[in-house]
Amino acid sequence: MDIVIPLFDRFEPLDAVGPYEILGYVPGARVRFVAPEPGRVTDALGALTVEVPTRYSEVDACDVLLVPGGHGTDALVADPDFLDWVRAVHATTRFTVSVCTGSLVLAAAGLLKGLTATTHWGAADALESHGATYTAERVVRHEDERIITSAGVSSGIDMAVRLAALLTDDVTAQAIQLCTEYDPQPPFDSGSLAKAPAAVVERTRTLG
């Protein structure tokens, strides 16, 4: 089972590493990272540099394509070669999935046109500008389209556990969840736009 995750400069680290941690435990799975060019890419926070040996164009098919988000998706959305690659690989996948603003890449490639999808709440308008309909749900799966989108950053872990169940079975997915001790108990109930106080929402605009 071949799982491919593109990385790029200014990718959001948890978007990629969170699902990787889950999907790496799927029996028989091989997770590969690819990049626009072989070499180093640096995350959106600026301190994590990853050496990626494989150019994305070297991959022409996979079972799962997982597109993370981050500020660097702006360049991908404007890159016709990358969007062509996403479309071509999507034609071969069992599942094509995104985390956070990775959904903007899927949308720009035309994969979400007319579909309901999710992304980071701050990118809702951008998602809709590409023909999708935004929903604040944490994970959205389209049964007939093989597409799963997940909301901001941490939701990628939720999506990956759900995807692990689809790739294997519920017991295996729950075993992976237990192995990684994914049992979130956040200290504050402000993890969604609907629940966060106005002062918290305003404070997010000064971060990153």
Residue 179 a catalytic site member = no
CB distance 120 to 153 below 8 Å: yes
How far from 59 is each of 36, 44, 85, 86, CA to CA, in Å? 11, 24, 9, 10
In this structure, the number of other CB atoms found within 10 A of the CB of residue 84 comes to: 12
Q: State the catalytic residue, choosing from 26, 35, 99, 100.
A: 100
Strands (E), the chain: 2-6, 30-34, 39-42, 49-52, 64-67, 95-99, 116-117, 133-134, 139-142, 147-150
Which residues form the catalytic set?
100
